Amino acid sequence: MEKNILTGIKPTGQLTLGNYLGVLKNLHEMMDRGNCYIFIADLHALTLPIDPEVLRNNSRDIAAFYLAAGLDPNRCALFLQSDVSAHAELNAIMQNYMYMGELSRMTQFKDISSKIAAKSDAKDAHIGLGIFTYPVLMACDIVLYDADIVPVGEDQKQHVELARDLVVRFNHKYGDILKMPYPEVRKVGARIMSLSDPSKKMSKSDPKGDIFLKDDLAVVRKKIMSAVTDTGSEVKYDKENKPGISNLLTIYAVTKNMSIEDAEAHFVGYRYGDFKREVADAVCEDLGAFQERYRKIIESKEYERVLKEGAEKARVVANKTLKRVKEAVGLLTL
């Protein structure tokens, strides 16, 4: 039977080269592998303060980015999480089956809440409930579509593991109701690091060292040319001792669809400067074509129809799961 593949992306900021290489570039392969559900996790974006107009624009952008990256709306469902009410409904049920202890052990929650708590201004130091219960909603996103495979970056693996715990717990109590999902973290490009500090993930909420997908190509080139490198002069993949060079090699390999070994072999004898120039050429060529497609999609508003039709397809599947769960726990479905 065909596998169900589900992934979500939070519209909290400008997408980065990390999102592009880690997720968007794998769309083709993903559609070949199974039934794909791809959604914009806009409810998750509300877990930290965000300006309404920024949220709206980010959501539109993400839809257009997915289409520009080659997503075929006839072969998958692309939709807004908030447009399929079953996510929020299932969340209201599932929050009773996850525990405060396990949620408080989540790395993302610990990181974010400690940052908020450390804020100097006490009035900004409130930690919303949503960031704490984030993994409950995420588990609902996953089980609603009977997802077999959940492609995520390394940082989100822990949340998918928790969704698996929930499935075991729920099914143990009510029978075989929920499907068991598997997190899938890609090897190459799974974690693109910051260009200014290669010990940190390139992340849209930490914009230093980022390349944004909407950056001017001249800016992209400049950022790559001034990326932090390491001591020594050899272009070699060695994450421990050469994190900066290893990151640039990863970026090159994923951009060119080649293995790290092949990329390394290609750069034997190169100096850092020439190496960076070639990485910049590769990224700019790829990103330039991508940006052109994105602009056309935004102008034509093609994303609106795609999102509406995607939500219709998603609702059919999600509502079936929701009904199964409601019946299992004893809610009357009339």
Site for ligand ATP in 129-188 (CB under 6 A): 152-153, 155-156
Position among 4, 47, 156, 247 found at the interface with ligand LTN (CB under 6 A): 156
286 contributes a contact to ligand LTN by CB under 6 A: no
Catalytic one of 201, 223, 242, 276: 201
Residue nearest ligand ATP by beta-carbon distance? 153
Does 200 participate in catalysis according to the annotation?
Answer: no
184 contributes a contact to ligand LTN by CB under 6 A: no
Whole-angstrom distance, CA of residue 312 vs CA of residue 83: 9
Nearer to ligand ATP (CB atom), residue 19 or residue 91: 19
Position among 71, 76, 150, 249 found at the interface with ligand LTN (CB under 6 A): 150
230 contributes a contact to ligand ATP by CB under 6 A: no
Does 201 participate in catalysis according to the annotation?
Answer: yes
35 contributes a contact to ligand LTN by CB under 6 A: no
Nearest approach in angstroms of CB 222 to ligand ATP is: 20
Nearer to ligand LTN (CB atom), residue 17 or residue 279: 17
Position among 4, 22, 63, 209 found at the interface with ligand ATP (CB under 6 A): 22
Sheet of 182-184, strand order: 76-80, 34-40, 3-9, 149-151, 182-184
Does 119 participate in catalysis according to the annotation?
Answer: yes
Whole-angstrom distance, CA of residue 76 vs CA of residue 11: 20
Residue 66 and residue 24 in contact, taking contact as beta carbons nearer than 8 Å: yes
86 contributes a contact to ligand ATP by CB under 6 A: no
Nearer to ligand ATP (CB atom), residue 14 or residue 229: 14
Return the active site residues: 119, 201, 204
User: Rule CB under 6 A: which residues touch ligand LTN?
Assistant: 6-8, 10, 41, 44, 138, 141-142, 150, 152, 156, 159
